[in-house]
Amino acid sequence: MTIQSRSSESISGRNIRKISVAISVLIATSLVGGCAANSGVSKSDDAKSQEVVERSTTPQAQVKPGEELLPPNAKPGECYARVWVEPTYVTKTETLQVKEAGERIEVIPAKYELVNETIEVSSASSRLVEIPPVYGTETESVLVESATREWLVDTKPGAAPATEEVLNRARTHGINLDAARAGMCFHEHYLPAGYRETMTEVEVSPASERISIIPAKYRNVEKRVLVKEASTRVIEVPAVYETVTETIVDKPAHTVWKKGTGPIQKINEATGEIMCLVDIPATYKTITKRVIKTPATTKVIEIPAVYKNEVVRELVSDAQEVRSPIPARYKKVKGKEKIADGRLVWHEVHDKTHSMNTRTGAKICLIEKPAKYKNVTRKVIKTPTSTKTVEVPARYKTIKVRKLVNAPQEKRIEIPAEYRKVTRRELRQDGHMEWRSILCKTNMTRTRITDIQKALKKAGYDPGPIDGNVGARTMAAVNAFQKAKGLPVDRYLNVATLKALGVSTK
């Protein structure tokens, strides 16, 4: 119930203020039109008043803050003034490119030099020379008859050897045949051994070979020789530029309140001024800059090589050797070969322990014969036949040749971009009307003015004499304090300034 009553009281209070304002407007209109002939109010005036009251009590369309006819959220005992707040701008500096970065190309030409170059006229080759074999003689002892150590039936030449059976029987009967010395004899029955004549082939000249030389073959041919190497030449193609015009915003479109008259009007009840909202169009700047259309480049031109024909001697086939074999030579030497053993029956001839009657009539004798050799002289190869390769050096000719020392090069030099600084103002906040709580005759007492002057002086601002009157020096100190503290600056003593000074608004 309490909340509803307060709300209804607030609504009724606002309606009463709106009615009073409407009546004031009506009275002002009647005075201008010369409609104040008598002290009473006519029926037409009553009708107009009733119309204004009805319009004021009719719900209004939603408006922006500061554009209401009456202050919003007003408190009893406070005064308000609607003031114009100028638009604020910020100055910005932009750097714009007026010419793009590019590059310039310098061509460094190729460097050449004439040098002596040796070319081959006749190829290197070789030829073969025969080296005959070197022969020598050497004497060799050839075994004609092998050395023998055997048991024979007699010491006479041609005596038959003793058989193993007889030797075993003699060994069995206590004769130490191993300890017998050469020349010892035993009685034995002897069947002589058989021999035959042999022929042995002895090499007197070893196999060798004969070498024939086939000389190398040549021919004269025409050969293409490089005199000047192929090269290249670099040509600079300069960059192509074009001029481009660009339009940029210098000051954006905005709206401002200006004093004047017109179909759309805002009436400041505190000052009685008529304010109009005016659209200010955007302004533009035109800048011109030079840009690269085609970058600088280079073109390479090929320079062909130069050749010259020369006659040279060319090897067709190498020298060759043909080897013919020479067979070895041999000589026949006669020899004697044992072909059959004799049959032996033995008895030791010096053994006197036995009578002669027990002898078998055979005897064996240990005979040793040295080997027989024959010296044979033969021809031998000390160094075999061979060939020697004789190198035939190549023949050369010196000619002048143009050689490339340094290839053509390109040197790119950077051209920096060009820029220009453009300054423009940008709207930070549009101008607007706003209601500010101020001191007026209702709440502006001498005591409060004195408190304000003392607070200004304490804060370091000179308000003039502290006399409780608002003069030019007091308002100058108030405005200086407002600017220093970032408070709204106007020609009123607003409540925000009082709070900053620490002065009570009640």
- pLDDT tens for residues 355-413? 677 667 667 777 777 777 788 787 777 788 788 788 878 888 888 777 777 888 877 88
CA–CA dist 206, 383 (Å, integer): 12
Mean pLDDT over 464-478 rounds to 89
First-residue to last-residue Cα distance in the chain:
28
Q: State if pTM tops 0.75.
A: no
CA–CA dist 308, 314 (Å, integer): 18
Helix (H) or strand (E) holding 158: none
- Owner of token pair 């192929």: 230
| Strand pairing class (306-317; 320-326) | unpaired
Architecture, CATH, for domain 434-506: Orthogonal Bundle (1.10)
- Extract the tokens encoding 446: 């001498």
- CA angle centred on 456, ends 455 and 461, rounded to 5°: 150
Contact between 175 and 186 (Cβ < 8 Å):
yes
Q: How confident is the model at residue 263 (pLDDT cuts 50, 70, 90)?
A: very low
DSSP state, 295? -
Per-residue model confidence (pLDDT) at position 461: 92
DSSP 386-440: EEEEEEE--EEEEEEEEEEEE--EEEEEEE--EEEEEEEEEEEE--EEEEEEE--
**Does 84 score more than 90 pLDDT?**
no
CA distances to 127, 148, 306, 310, 449 from 396, rounded to whole Å, are: 19, 78, 20, 11, 122
Q: Where are the domains of the chain?
A: 1-59, 134-214+335-374, 434-506
3-state helix, strand, coil in the chain (%, to 5): 20, 50, 30
| Strand pairing class (418-429; 134-145) | unpaired
- Extract the tokens encoding 113: 């030099």
- Extract the tokens encoding 456: 């200004």
**Does 35 score more than 90 pLDDT?**
no
**Does 272 score more than 60 pLDDT?**
no
